Amino acid sequence: MVKKTNTATKKTAPAKERLTGFGPFDVPLGFRGLGMAAGLKASGRPDLTLFYSDFPCRAAAVFTKNKFAAAPITVCRESLRAEPENQRVILVNSGQANACTGKQGLATARAMAACAAKSLGLSPKQVMVASTGVIGQQIALAPAKKGITTLAREIASRSDWEMAARGIMTTDTFPKAAFMPVRIGGFTVKFLGFCKGAGMIHPNMATLLSFVLTDANIEQHALQSALSAAVATSFNMMTVDGDTSTNDTLIVHANGMTGNPLIRKGTAAFRIFSDALQEICERLAKQIARDGEGATKFVEISVVGAANSDDARAVAKSIATSNLVKTAIFGGDPNWGRIACAIGNAPARLRPQDVVVRLGGRLLFAKGGPAATPERLLAKAMKQKEIRIEVNLGAGRASATAWTCDLTYDYVRINADYRT
């Protein structure tokens, strides 16, 4: 059992763990992470993860806007309302989404939180839970509780961050994490983020499951404000297949262990913190786009010259979500007509004759029609593993960037028999 404490400012020694597979960097002070195979997946792969802070955290979160929001989201909202400045644990299972599971599913989510709390000497309201996997399937509570108890016991003395990252995966082909240190007011603040997602990705807030841990000392309302702003230009600008999940959850825990002066909204420190959080979220969002189900290519869409930010985002997302554009990218076909059509479908102010489109740096479309760039050069650009589409709307000074992947035969294969 990990000893309970209510001191948010006491410092511990720098974390010694290194994230195997993610690069040689230190984790934020006071955090631990551990994952395991608890038997929730028939495959025997890791399926249960515990993120733990030695000290209370101020927490912020965003959740799916899907009306069939999963049971764990209800539990998270309850915990966030009850203890927004006293969170300690994020408990995650993969294999079953615990969505559309009725009263039994909600009872299971609460029971899992209660089990973690009891094992760690905490209140259930200090535990946030998240689930991912097949919709409509109940979580087997007995192996889940056994696994939770094991993780709680072992996390007192060790971390295994790669197993923690693997425990939240479903159809992901690799574990996803991002780390970033930043200087704020003479203190080095660290950010460590994890996420999972490959299919059912079209965020309307965050994306599937994502968790960011930081040892920054920041006001809770400021943390929520920074998170909401970061999501708007990162996760909400990334898509794989146009389907928003029932389980979308992004949680940030800040335990204040760095000991920096309290960060408040409107300050220089807040701006530095917000930029760092946005950068972490963007790095995670890009990893999800790169790992889209069946994907072979990563695509970045950059829109400039828009009348305002809303128009810029609308055009970028219209291109990113176009199945015709995404299949053309898979086939290596520089079909400028599909891109032009996607631009025109966006609810944005523009004149076709002012729009300029480049593909891989080469002029594709201008003055209302195709450019004279040789087809062979455009086709060569389409064969790259990373493709950049640049659009200048010629209507203003606003800009936006979106990320997606190609749409392949394998995406259909994976989702045609996802449950079987």
Residue 128: enclosing H or E segment and its boundaries?
strand 127-134
Residue 196: enclosing H or E segment and its boundaries?
strand 187-196
User: What is the SS3 assignment for 17?
Assistant: coil
Residue type, 144: A
Supply φ then ψ for residue 288, to 5 degrees: -65, -45
Residues designated as active site = 207
- Residue closest to 277 by CA, chosen among 212, 217, 232: 212
Q: How many CB atoms lie within 10 A of CB 374?
A: 10
Taking the C-alpha atoms of residue 236 and residue 311, their distance in angstroms, rounded to an integer, is 14
Characterize 179-194 residue by residue with b for buried, 16 or more Cβ atoms within 10 angstroms of its Cβ, and e for exposed.
bbebebeeeebbbbbb
Characterize 124-158 residue by residue with b for buried, 16 or more Cβ atoms within 10 angstroms of its Cβ, and e for exposed.
bbbbbbbbbbebebebbeeebbebbbbbbeebeee
End-to-end CA distance of the chain: 39
Supply φ then ψ for residue 163, to 5 degrees: -65, -35
